[in-house]
Structure 1
Amino acid sequence: MPNKSLNKPQRILFIVNPIAGDIVKDDLKEKIETFSEKRNFAFEIQYTKGEKDNQLIAEAIRRFAPDKVVAVGGDGTSNLVAKILINGKIIMGIIPMGSANGLARELNIPQTLSDALEVVAARKTRAIDTITINGTHLSLHLADIGINAQVIKRFERDSIRGFTGYAKHFIQELFAAKPFKFAVTLDQKKITQKAHMVVIANATKYGTGAVINPRGNISDGQFEIIFVRPYSMWHLFQMIIPFFTHKIHELDYIKSFSAQKVTIHNYGKKELQIDGELIGRLKEINVEINPQALEILIPERRSKYFFSSLTDET
C-alpha cells in the first residue's frame, strides 16, 4: 500500500528575521507562496520582533502544527529556532539571509532563495550535534573568546555592514590584540595557555569560508577547543592560506583538543560570542555536547556553487 503520509501536503512554518543581513525581504512572502503552489505545501510566516520571540515562535508552532520550521535569516535566527526544536520531532530548515550564514555554509545549503526553498521542500535531513554553554546558551556552529568576539562587538557599532565591514574590523583587531591567559579543564586535566582566541568548534568553518577546525564533524558527538596562540606579524600572513586550504591545524601556534565536556577559565574575562551573538565577559565557561540533538534539512546532493565541507552527509 502507498504511504499516505508522503502524499499529505507538508505544513511549513517560516520564521523570518526581517532585518537579518540588511537584506530586503519585501517580496519574500510572494515568492514562498508561488513556490508553495508549485511544491504543494501549506505555509505560515512568523516575523521576529526582537523581543519575546521565543514565545511568539512557540505559539506559532502550537497554532499551525508544522512538519518543518524554517529559520530565514542568519546564524542568530537559526539559533533562536533551534532552541525551541532541540530534542523534538519537528524538522528544522534554513534559508540563509544573514551577513555570514555560517551554519548554512557548513551544511552546504544554497545561498539563493529559490535553491534553498528546494531544500526546504525536500525530505533529506541530517542529525547534528549542538553545544550547551553555561547551561543556558545554545551553540550550533562556532563560539569563541577573544579576537573574533571583539571584532563582532566593533562590527555591531559600525554603519558599514556585510563582509567589508567585518574585514575592516578583523584586520584592526589582529594588529591591536594582545594575548590573554586561558585554561581548559579537560578530562580532569588542566591545560593553561596564553592565546589571542579560544574557539569552541562544533563546525569546521566560519561564514567567510575560513576553516578553523578542518578535522571537525558537526555530527560526531564531540567538539573541538582550539587555541590561537600568540603570533608575530609574520604569523599573520602565514595564517591566510591555511585558513582557506584546510591546513590551519598544521601550524605550530594552533593547538586543538577534542572533547565532550570542558570548562574554560577566562582569566582576562575576554568577550564571548556564540553563533555571531555577543554574550558578554564570563570568567568561567562550561561547555557540553548534545549528540545529534537536532534534525535539519540538507541538500540532496552537493553543488559546485557552494563551499564544500570535509564531512559527508549521512
Structure 2
Amino acid sequence: MTEFSRVLMVVNPISGGREKSGLLEEVKEILETRGLESHTFFTSGEGDKQALQQEIASFDPQRIISMGGDGTIKLIAEILQDNSIPVGVFPAGSANGLAENLDLPTEVPALVDVCLGNKFIDLDTIIINGELCLHISDIGLNAALIKNYHEGNIRGKLGYLIQSIPTLIQSDFPFQFEIEINGKTISRKAVLIAIANAKKYGTGANINPNGRFDDGKFEILIFKEFNIPQILETFKENVELNEDFLEIIPGVEAKIRSYKNIPFQIDGEYRGDIKEVVARIAPVKMKIAVP
C-alpha cells in the first residue's frame, strides 16, 4: 500500500531524442488513479539545479520519479545529498546506464509500480574530479566515442554505433597510464580505464560482472587491448573475460594519470581531454526504487 501522497516527476524533455508528452500523460493518469498528487519539473539545461531545489522545497515530495537519462538522475542526486526521498528511475535517455543495471520492467504500468514501490537499494556515489558519479566514468576509447557522439546529429544507440568506426580510426590507443590504488602505484598500457559503480554500460555490455551498487567501493577496470571477441563476450548473460583483456582492481580511492590529454567522461557526459582522474567513494548514498 502506498504510504505517501506527493510525487514529483523530473523530466528531461529532449533526452534520447524522444518526445515524451504521451508517456508523461500515461504516467500521470496512473498516479491520479492511485490518488497521488503530482507535479512535473522539466529540465531546460540552464539553471536546473537551483530551479529543482526550489521545486523540491516548495512541493515537498515524498517520492521522485526521474524520466530521462543518467544526467537527470545525477541532477536529482546532487540536490538530494543526504535527503532520504526515494527516487524511481524511468529510463528515457540515449543510453540509460544506471537503469540498465537495475533490471527494470519495460511496460509502463509495471515500471510505475517499481517507482512507487517499497523496495530500495542505497546506491553508492563516487566523487570523480570533484563531480558526482553514479554509474561509470572512464578515460580513453569509450570517452572518445561519447565525445564524437555528442558532436554528431543522431541520438540513441544508433548514434553510438555510427560514431564507433571514426572513433577507432582517429584514436591513438593504447594509452600509457599510472594508477595509484590501495597504497600501490602500477603502470599499465590500456585502451581505456573505467571507474565503475555498476556492472553494465547503457549499451548492455557487462564490463564489471561482480560489481555492486551498494558495497561501499568501486572497481578500476583496465581494458588492456581492443579485442572484438572479448567485447562481444560482454553482451552474454554469463560473462567470461580473460586477464589479458581486462584487469579489475576494487578500491575506495584512486588516482589515474596519463602522459598526454585523453578524452574523459562521467555517467555518459564528455568532460574534456585530461591527464589526471581522482576518485573516491563519497559518504552520500541515494535511495533508489528497485523491482
- TM-score for the superposition, normalised by structure 1: 0.87
Worse-superposed segment, 118-127 or 198-207: 118-127
Where do residues 1-314 of structure 1 align in structure 2 (5 Å cutoff)? 9-135=4-130, 137-177=131-171, 178-231=173-226, 235-290=227-282, 293-299=285-291
Q: 1:8 to 1:161 in 2, by over 3 A?
A: closer
Query: How far off its partner does 1:187 sit?
Result: 2.1
Q: d(CA) in 2 for partners of 1:149 and 1:175?
A: 14
Check 1:176–1:8 CA distance in 2 against 1; reply closer, same or farther (3 A cut). closer
Contact 1:248 / 1:254 at 8 angstroms: preserved in 2? no
Question: Quick one: structure 1 residues 123 and 60, their matched pair in 2 at CA, closer, same or farther if it must change by over 3 Å?
Answer: same
What is the distance in 1 between the residues matched to 2:229 and 2:169? Answer: 12
CA deviation after TM superposition for structure 1 residue 86, in Å: 2.5
Structure 1's 121 and 247: CA in aligned 2 closer, same or farther, altered over 3 A?
closer
User: Which whole-Å deviations, capped at 9, do the CAs of 1:195-246 have from their partners, x for residues lacking one?
Assistant: 1101111000111111111111111111111111134xxx323431244344
Deviates more, 1:171-180 or 1:258-267: 171-180
- 8 Å contact kept, 2:260–2:274: no
* Residue aligned with 2:280, SS: strand
1:283 partner SS? strand
User: Structure 2 regions of 5+ residues with no counterpart?
Assistant: none
Q: CA–CA distance in 1 between the matches of 2:251 and 2:128?
A: 14
Identity of aligned residues (%): 38
Amino acid at match of 2:140: G
How far apart are the structure 1 equivalents of 2:106 and 2:149?
Answer: 22
Residues 59-98 of structure 1, C-alpha deviation per residue, up to 9 Å, x if partnerless?
0000000111221101111111111112222111111101
My pick for the range that moved more, 25-34 or 91-100, is 25-34
Q: What code does the residue aligned with 1:228 have? A: F
Once the two structures are TM-superposed, the CA of residue 31 in structure 1 deviates from its matched residue by 1.8
3-state DSSP of counterpart to 2:115:
helix
Contact 1:149/1:272, CA 8 A, preserved across alignment: yes
| Aligned-pair Cα RMSD in Å | 1.8
Contact 1:179 1:194 (C-alpha < 8 Å) held by counterparts:
yes
**1:172 Cα offset (Å):** 3.5
CA distance in 2, matches of 1:134, 1:83: 15
Instruction: Report SS of the residue matched to 2:149.
Output: helix
C-alpha spacing 1:33/1:237, structure 2 compared with 1 (3 Å) = closer
Alpha-carbon distance in structure 2 between the residues aligned to 1:228 and 1:142: 14
Aligned pair count?
290
The amino acid across from 2:99 in the alignment is A
Aligned 8 A contact 1:106 1:205 in 2: yes
On the 8 A contact 1:148/1:170 being kept in 2, the answer is no
Judge which range, 271-280 or 240-249, deviates more: 240-249
Distance 1:71 1:194, change over 3 A: same
- 3-state SS, counterpart of residue 204 of structure 2: coil
Inter-partner Cα distance in structure 2 for 1:44 and 1:89: 19
Q: Which runs of 5 or more residues in structure 1 are unaligned?
A: 1-5, 300-314
Conservation of the 8 A alpha-carbon contact between 1:87 and 1:293: yes
